């Protein structure tokens, strides 16, 4: 059974159809990348998978681990193992980052019928993971994302990913706004999480990130549909030619 099966997915925001029939199957252990020009629907796809309210699904279905994902609330989807690393992580004043993360872990553990972690179990793990992501100790007790730099916010997303250990991790343009060092650290964090029972969906505009996180499959999303799929070489081709030219060539190659 596939981990994620998206069939003919249609979705709209404020009455505008953004996704116009997406089909995608992801198996555990695989890393898929979705590339595409601005406005093609990449972030919408991520939001729908994370069950964000503002995105209305108007057709198709999504199975996650055999269960109907579209029936789930965001928190249910999260507890089932869907994780979204946000493109723009929000600041939440007054809630300590450690407290927040422990609350999240315990919510997930409770859902799965596992014992809750107390502070003594949690802290060593939290510190160790922070160290791996080269995060400053001073961020430990700060409010969630408050006063974090752009790079620190993205690292904080990966920190959460590594603590929550989801089955499917969706990275929504995690590379945007990162300098080369931060990119390397974030990619290391992600690569350390790769495992046969975890899949990744890496959404990016640029090939650059894929130098660090090697995908098994690359898909090109254009105007709400997956136009092409291929191996890692497809990303290189897109980088070289740009989306427009690459698309034009595809169009020409099609029989009239």
Partner 1 sequence: MSSSVDTIRDLAAQDYKWGFVTEIDEDRVPKGLNEDIVRLISARKGEPEFMLEWRLNALRHWFQMEREQGEPKWANVTFPPIDYQNIVYYSAPKQKPSLDSLNQVDPELLKTYAKLGIPIDEQKRLSNVAVDAVFDSVSVATTFKDKLGEMGVIFCSFSEAVQKHPDLIKKYLGTVVPHTDNFYAALNAAVFTDGSFVYVPKGVRCPMELSTYFRINAAETGQFERTLIVADEGASVSYLEGCTAPIRDTNQLHAAVVELIALDDAQIKYSTVQNWYPGDKEGRGGIYNFVTKRGKCLGRNSKISWTQVETGSAITWKYPSCILQGDNSVGEFYSVALTNNRQQADTGTKMIHIGKNTRSTIVSKGISAGFGQNTYRGQVKILKGATGARNYTQCDSLLIGDKCGAHTFPYIDVRNGSARMEHEASTSKIGEDQLFYLRQRGIKTEDAVSMIVNGFCKTVFKELPMEFAVEAQKLLGVSLEGSVG
Residues that bind partner 1 in the complex, under the rule CB under 8 A: 50, 52-54, 73-75, 77-79, 83-84, 86, 89-90, 92-95, 100-101, 103-104, 107-108, 111, 143, 160, 164
For residue 228, the tally of other CB atoms under 10 A from its CB is 16
**Strands 31-35 and 67-68, bridge-based pairing:** unpaired
170, 69 Cβ separation under 8 angstroms: no
**Strands 217-222 and 225-230, bridge-based pairing:** antiparallel
| 57 closest CA partner among 7, 130, 107, 123 | 7
- For residues 68 and 73, which CB has a smaller minimum distance to partner 1 in the complex? 73
- For residues 48 and 226, which CB has a smaller minimum distance to partner 1 in the complex? 48
| 82 closest CA partner among 252, 181, 199 | 199
Q: How far is the CB of 200 from partner 1 (least distance, A)?
A: 16
Q: How far is the CB of 235 from partner 1 (least distance, A)?
A: 27
Q: How far is the CB of 77 from partner 1 (least distance, A)?
A: 8
Write the DSSP symbol of residue 117.
P
- For residues 105 and 210, which CB has a smaller minimum distance to partner 1 in the complex? 105
Q: How far is the CB of 78 from partner 1 (least distance, A)?
A: 4
- For residues 118 and 249, which CB has a smaller minimum distance to partner 1 in the complex? 118
- For residues 73 and 121, which CB has a smaller minimum distance to partner 1 in the complex? 73
Q: Based on the number of CB atoms within 10 Å of its own CB, is 117 exposed (0-12), middle (13-18) or buried (19 or more)?
A: middle
Q: How far is the CB of 126 from partner 1 (least distance, A)?
A: 14
23, 226 Cβ separation under 8 angstroms: yes
């Amino acid at each position: 059974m596939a981990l994620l099966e998206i069939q003919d997915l249609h979705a709209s925001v404020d009455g505008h159809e953004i996704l116009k029939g997406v089909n995608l199957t992801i198996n555990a252990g695989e890393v898929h990348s979705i590339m595409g020009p601005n406005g093609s629907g990449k972030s919408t796809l991520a939001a729908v998978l994370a069950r964000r309210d503002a995105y209305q699904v108007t057709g198709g279905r999504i199975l996650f681990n055999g269960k109907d994902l579209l029936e789930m609330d965001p928190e249910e989807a999260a507890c089932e193992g869907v994780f979204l690393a946000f493109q723009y992580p929000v600041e939440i004043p007054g809630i300590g980052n450690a407290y927040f993360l422990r609350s999240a872990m315990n919510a997930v553990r409770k859902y799965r019928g596992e014992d809750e972690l107390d502070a003594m179990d949690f802290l060593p793990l939290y510190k160790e993971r922070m160290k791996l992501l080269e995060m400053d100790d001073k961020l430990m007790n700060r409010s969630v994302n408050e006063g974090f730099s752009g790079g620190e916010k993205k690292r904080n997303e990966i920190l959460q990913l590594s603590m929550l250990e989801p089955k499917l991790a969706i990275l929504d343009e995690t590379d945007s706004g990162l300098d080369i060092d931060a990119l390397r650290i974030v990619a290391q964090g992600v690569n350390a999480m790769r495992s046969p029972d975890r899949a990744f969906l890496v959404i990016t505009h640029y090939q650059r990130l894929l130098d660090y996180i090697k995908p098994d499959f690359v898909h090109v999303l254009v105007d709400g549909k997956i136009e092409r799929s291929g191996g890692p070489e497809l990303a290189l081709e897109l980088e070289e030619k740009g989306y427009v030219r690459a698309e034009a060539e595809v169009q020409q190659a099609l029989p009239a």
